[in-house]
Amino acid sequence: MDKNTLEKYKIDIFNVKDDKKFHPVEAQHDNSHLKRVDVFTADQCKRIEDTLDKMDSLWINRSCTPRFAYENSTKSIRAPFWTLGAVSYLDAVEDYARYHKLKTVMNPVLKKKFGWMYDIICEKFEEEFGCPVVIDDVLAHPGFHIFSAKKGQIISEGHVRLFETALGSIHVDIQYKEHWEYWQTYNHADLDNQMTWTIPVKLPKHGGGLYTWDVEVDPAVFNYNTNENKKPDVSPTANKYYEGQMTYFFRHLLHQMMPGVKVSPDDRRLTVQGHGIKCDGVWRLYF
Ligand SMILES: O=C(O)CCC(=O)C(=O)O
Ligand SMILES: [Fe+2]
């Protein structure tokens, strides 16, 4: 996207022309499709961030990988973007065996370092849904999206500007489709009600969030296009994120990571990331 298109795009989306009032995260109301649950305290968020930093040799650099590998036309972001854990939309989409290889290495490590965190997540979901919620052991454990430099380093000026652009695609989550055969091992896997959840543990100073669009799209074809061609006619809702607060939604809610605002070189956007499918009465969480 060239700079002029980008500027137009920002103004379209935020509908705010005066840069002094440029606070897109507060521009609009919450989307009723997006649920919110307070999950971690500030201390717990800090503990997660510190643990994540201590494990930075295991972060996988995805900065040159198209943000959503199942799309045929996305730019390489080349800004510091890492993941921890095996990722359905990046690894399984590319090579299903690679996903399982990485998961086999990473699951025990994640369980050891973040077992306490998974316990809290499952407990909160159980309170929310009133049925058992587990971390799935066959698929990859929930992991992390890391938009940040490594601890003690800063993001370069060029990358700071990149973080202020729409790095994430406009998409629906269809990660569950990669694991079709696995779901068939259950009597009933509710593939019509798949869930996506995100818990930010560290956000940039000027915030972060998720755009959502209240429109129906065909999940079989929608993702496989460029953002420009996919942008719906209606305005998105800007759902602000809060550190420690989970957002989750069901089915094919159209969404996009919100671009950063006035990003500084030491800003970080760290999120615990996962999905869920209810199989034989138990929600199974995975990445
Ligand atoms: O980071 C976010 O806010 C959302 C990420 C997302 O859409 C995804 O991982 O599918
Ligand atoms: Fe998504």
Q: Residue 173's domain spans which residues?
A: 34-286
Choosing from 255, 271, 272, 275 the residue with most ligand 1 atoms within 8 A of its CB, the one to mutate for a pocket test is 255
Q: Is residue 99 part of a domain?
A: yes
Confidence band (pLDDT; 50, 70, 90) for 21?
very low
Q: Is residue 27 part of a domain?
A: no
Residue 3 vs residue 101, higher pLDDT: 101
Return the pLDDT at 30.
52
Q: Which ligand is nearest to the CA of 89?
A: 1
Which residue's alpha carbon is nearest to atom 2 within ligand 1? 257
| CA gap 225, 208 in Å, rounded | 24
Which residue's alpha carbon is nearest to atom 10 within ligand 1? 173
Mean pLDDT confidence for 202-212: 97
Choosing from 91, 273, 275, 285 the residue with most ligand 1 atoms within 8 A of its CB, the one to mutate for a pocket test is 273
Number of domains composing the chain: 1
Ligand 1 contact, 253 CB (< 6 A): no
Return the pLDDT at 11.
28
The answer to whether residues 142 and 287 touch, using CB atoms and an 8 Å cutoff, is: yes
Ligand 1 contact, 145 CB (< 6 A): yes
For residue 268, what is the domain's CATH number?
A: 2.60.120
Mean pLDDT confidence for 139-155: 96
* Distance from the alpha carbon of residue 274 to the mean position of ligand 2, in angstroms: 10
Which residue's alpha carbon is nearest to atom 4 within ligand 1? 257
Residue 66 vs residue 232, higher pLDDT: 232
Q: Is residue 14 part of a domain?
A: no
Residue 129 vs residue 8, higher pLDDT: 129
Q: Is residue 3 part of a domain?
A: no
Which residue's alpha carbon is nearest to atom 9 within ligand 1? 273
Q: How would you class 191 by CB atoms within 10 Å of its CB: exposed for 0-12, middle for 13-18, buried for 19 or more?
A: middle
| CA gap 235, 14 in Å, rounded | 9
C-alpha 216, offset from chain centre: 20
Which residue's alpha carbon is nearest to atom 6 within ligand 1? 257
Res. 60: pLDDT tops 70: yes
Res. 227: pLDDT tops 90: no
Q: Is residue 10 part of a domain?
A: no
* Distance from the alpha carbon of residue 35 to the mean position of ligand 2, in angstroms: 15
Q: Is residue 78 part of a domain?
A: yes
Return the pLDDT at 65.
61
Q: Is residue 21 part of a domain?
A: no
Rounded to whole angstroms, what are the CA distances from 76 to 55, 87, 124, 231?
A: 25, 17, 36, 19
Which residue's alpha carbon is nearest to atom 8 within ligand 1? 173
pLDDT 10s digits, 243-271: 999 999 999 999 999 999 999 999 999 99
**In this structure, what token pair is assigned to residue 254?**
């159209």
* Distance from the alpha carbon of residue 246 to the mean position of ligand 2, in angstroms: 14
Mean pLDDT confidence for 92-102: 93
Average pLDDT, the chain: 85
| CA gap 39, 243 in Å, rounded | 9
Ligand 1 atom closest to Cα of 273?
9
Q: Is residue 29 part of a domain?
A: no
Residues in the chain: 287
| CA gap 185, 257 in Å, rounded | 33
Q: How would you class 177 by CB atoms within 10 Å of its CB: exposed for 0-12, middle for 13-18, buried for 19 or more?
A: middle
| CA gap 232, 13 in Å, rounded | 11
Res. 101: pLDDT tops 90: yes
Return the pLDDT at 93.
85
The answer to whether residues 175 and 195 touch, using CB atoms and an 8 Å cutoff, is: no
Stated pTM of the model: 0.86
**In this structure, what token pair is assigned to residue 279?**
């199989």
Return the pLDDT at 122.
98
Res. 147: pLDDT tops 50: yes
